[in-house]
C-alpha cells in the first residue's frame, strides 16, 4: 500500500503553499486583475451589491445607470420622432433644438443626480429659453412626466420620475458644468444629430463618464439603427429611417472591459453581446462613414483621402455618433471627420461615448494629427482638430493619408 511519510507530507504541504502563493501573486499583480474580478463579480453577485470603491472600481453601477437612463430617454425621443410638431427652436449658433433634446436631457440628468449626486455634468442644452417660453416648457413637461421604463425595478434604480416642472428645468440646467481634467464628469448629448432627427435620419442619445479626463464609461442609444450587428449600413444611412421592429440598439463600453451591443428596449435591459471592429485586410475594400452635413466635415478632403487609400466604394453618410457605433460593430470600417471651419471646436458630448466604444471594440481614435482626443480641456475638444477612427491595424495607414491630403492644402 502507498503511504506518505511525515517528511513527504511536510514537503507536499510546502509545495502546495508555494503553488497557491504563486497563483495569487500572478492574479493580484496582473493589470487585468480588476477586470477579471469584475467579470467574476458580475457572474456571482447581484449588480447593485458590487462595490465601486475608488481604488478598484468596475464602473458596473455607472454603466447600468447610464444604459437604463439612455434607454428611458429614447422612449421620449422616439415619441417626438413620430410627432409632426417637434417644438423646434433655433439656438444662438443657428443649430436646432427640439422638445426631444430638452426632455431627454432632463430625464438623464435626473437619473445621474439621483445616483451620483457629487458628479459634474456637461450637457449640451440649457433651460433659459424654456423659462421664458412657458408653453414649450409645459409641452415638454407633459412628455417628461410620462416617460418611464416599463420595468418597475429598473425605473426604481434610476431614482424614479422627475417630481415637478420646476425640477425638470433645474435638471436641464444642471448640465452646465465647465468640465475639466479633474474628478468625475459626465458628458451628455441628449440628441446627437438633431438635424438628422428632424429629417428622419440617424440620431443618438449619448452619455459618457470621464474620471480625471479619461473616458471610463460610454453609452449610445440609437433608435433607428438595426439591432442586428451585421446588417448592412447602406440601408440605414440617409433619410426615411424608422424605429420599426428590428430597430434600436444600445451600445455600451467600460474602459478595459470591451464594448457591447444590446437591443434598445422599453424596460429591463436586453441581453448584451460583445462587439468588435472588422479586421480590414485590404484598406481599398474599407467602407468609410462621414457626416451628412457638409458643413460639419469636409466631404471633399474625405473623398481625396479615400482615393489615396484606393477606396472606390461610395462613403456612407450618416448623422450622429451612430457612425462610431456602426464602425465599432464592424458594419462599417472608418469614420473620418475633417474640419471645414478652422475656428470650430468639437464638443466633448459629440465624441466621448463613441471614442471609448470604438477603442474598446479594437479601434484607434485620434485627431487629424494623430493625437488622442483630449476630454480634459472643458466643454470642447480645443486641443484637437478633426477625428480619424479606424481599426487598430490600419489606423496608421489611414492617418498617413489624412496628413498627406491636409498637408498638401
Ligand atoms: N461646424 C461644425 N463642425 C463640426 N461639427 C459641428 C458643426 N456645427 C455643429 N456641429 C456638431 O455636429 C453634430 C452632429 O454632427 P454629425 O456629423 O454627427 O451629424 S450630421 O451628419 O452632421 O448631422 C452636432 O451635434 P448636435 O447639435 O447634437 O446635433 C453639432 O454639435
Ligand atoms: Mg451632438
Ligand atoms: Mg445634441
Ligand atoms: Mg445641437
> Mind listing the pLDDT tens digit for each residue in 133-191?
999 999 999 999 999 999 999 999 999 999 999 999 999 999 999 999 999 999 999 99
Ligand nearest, relative to CA of residue 90: 4
Provide the pLDDT confidence category of residue 15 given band limits of 50, 70 and 90. low
Amino acid 409: pLDDT: 82
pLDDT, tens digit (0-9, with 9 covering 90-100), for 117-129: 999 999 999 999 9
Across the chain, mean pLDDT equals: 89
343 is in an annotated binding site: no
> Atom 18 of ligand 1 has which residue's CA nearest to it?
320
Q: Mean pLDDT across the stretch 7-19? A: 49
Q: Is the pLDDT of residue 30 over 50?
A: no
**346 annotated ligand binder:** no
Distance CA 358, CA 218 (A): 10
pLDDT tier for residue 19 given thresholds of 50, 70 and 90: low
Q: What is the mean pLDDT of residues 45-64?
A: 64
> What pLDDT was estimated at residue 10?
43
What is the complex's ipTM, to 2 decimals?
0.96
The annotation status of 355 as a binding-site residue, yes or no, is no
Confidence at residue 56, expressed as pLDDT on a 0 to 100 scale: 60
**Catalytic-role residue among 74, 101, 229, 355:** 101
Task: State the average pLDDT over residues 202-220.
Answer: 98
User: What gap in Å lies between CA 125 and CA 264, rounded to an integer?
Assistant: 24
Give the span between the Cα atoms of 211 and 255, in whole angstroms: 11
Cell 430638452 appears where? 102
Environment of ion ligand 2 (residues, CB < 5 A): 189, 192, 350
For residue 212, give every residue at least 6 positions away whose Cβ sits within 8 Å of its Cβ, in sequence order, or none.
181, 182, 183, 376
Nearest CA to ligand 1 atom 2: 296
Q: How many CB atoms lie within 10 A of CB 60?
A: 21
Residue in 73, 93, 187, 193 to alter for ligand 1 test, most ligand atoms within 8 A of Cβ: 193
pLDDT at position 91 is 95
pLDDT at res. 18: 54
pLDDT average, residue stretch 211-240: 94
- Catalytic site includes residue 58: no
| DSSP helix/strand/coil, 134 | helix
The stretch 267-291 carries a mean pLDDT of 97
Which set of grid coordinates corresponds to residue 39? 467579470
Centre of ligand 4 from the C-alpha of residue 125, in Å? 8
Q: Map out the domains of the chain with their CATH numbers.
A: 60-275 (3.30.540.10), 283-407 (3.40.190.80)
Give the pLDDT confidence score for residue 36 in this predicted structure.
37
Nearest CA residue ID for atom 12, ligand 1: 296
Has 98 been annotated as catalytic? no
The CA distance from 266 to 150, in Å, is 6
Catalytic residue among 58, 98, 194, 287: 194
Amino acid at each position: 500500500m502507498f503511504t506518505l511519510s511525515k517528511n513527504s507530507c511536510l514537503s507536499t504541504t510546502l509545495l502546495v503553499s508555494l503553488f497557491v502563493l504563486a497563483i495569487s501573486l500572478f492574479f493580484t499583480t496582473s493589470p487585468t486583475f480588476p477586470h477579471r474580478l469584475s467579470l467574476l463579480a458580475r457572474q456571482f453577485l447581484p449588480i447593485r451589491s458590487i462595490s465601486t470603491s475608488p481604488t478598484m472600481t468596475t464602473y458596473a453601477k455607472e454603466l447600468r445607470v447610464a444604459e437604463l437612463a439612455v434607454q428611458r430617454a429614447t422612449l421620449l425621443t422616439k415619441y417626438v420622432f413620430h410627432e409632426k410638431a417637434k417644438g423646434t427652436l433655433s439656438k444662438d449658433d443657428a443649430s436646432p433644438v427640439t422638445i426631444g433634446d430638452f426632455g431627454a436631457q432632463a430625464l438623464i440628468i435626473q437619473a445621474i443626480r439621483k445616483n451620483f449626486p457629487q458628479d459634474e455634468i456637461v450637457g449640451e442644452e440649457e433651460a433659459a429659453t424654456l423659462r421664458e417660453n412657458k408653453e414649450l416648457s409645459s409641452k415638454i413637461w407633459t412628455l417628461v412626466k410620462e416617460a418611464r421604463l416599463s420595468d418597475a425595478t429598473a425605473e426604481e434604480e434610476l431614482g424614479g420620475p422627475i417630481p415637478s416642472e420646476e425640477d425638470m428645468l433645474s435638471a436641464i440646467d444642471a448640465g452646465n458644468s465647465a468640465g475639466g481634467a479633474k474628478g468625475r464628469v459626465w458628458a451628455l448629448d441628449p440628441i446627437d444629430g438633431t438635424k438628422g432627427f428632424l429629417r428622419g435620419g440617424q440620431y443618438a442619445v449619448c452619455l459618457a463618464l470621464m474620471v480625471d479626463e479619461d473616458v471610463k464609461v460610454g453609452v449610445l442609444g440609437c433608435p433607428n439603427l438595426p439591432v442586428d450587428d451585421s446588417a448592412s449600413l447602406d440601408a440605414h444611412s440617409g433619410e426615411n429611417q424608422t424605429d420599426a421592429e428590428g430597430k434600436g440598439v444600445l451600445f455600451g463600453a467600460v474602459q478595459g472591459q470591451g464594448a457591447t451591443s444590446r437591443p434598445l428596449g422599453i424596460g429591463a435591459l436586453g441581453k448584451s453581446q460583445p462587439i468588435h471592429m472588422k479586421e480590414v485586410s485590404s484598406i481599398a475594400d474599407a467602407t468609410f462613414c462621414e457626416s451628412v452635413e457638409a458643413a460639419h466635415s469636409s466631404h471633399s478632403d474625405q473623398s481625396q483621402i479615400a482615393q489615396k487609400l484606393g477606396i472606390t466604394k461610395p462613403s456612407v453618410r450618416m448623422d450622429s455618433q451612430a457612425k462610431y457605433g456602426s464602425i465599432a460593430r464592424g458594419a462599417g470600417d472608418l469614420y473620418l471627420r475633417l474640419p471645414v471651419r478652422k475656428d470650430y471646436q468639437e464638443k466633448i458630448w459629440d465624441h466621448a461615448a463613441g471614442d471609448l466604444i470604438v477603442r474598446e471594440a479594437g479601434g484607434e481614435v485620434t485627431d487629424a494629427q494623430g493625437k488622442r482626443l483630449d476630454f480634459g480641456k472643458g466643454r470642447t475638444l480645443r486641443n484637437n482638430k478633426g477625428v480619424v477612427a479606424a481599426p487598430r491595424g490600419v489606423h496608421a495607414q489611414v492617418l498617413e493619408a489624412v496628413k498627406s491630403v491636409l498637408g498638401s492644402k
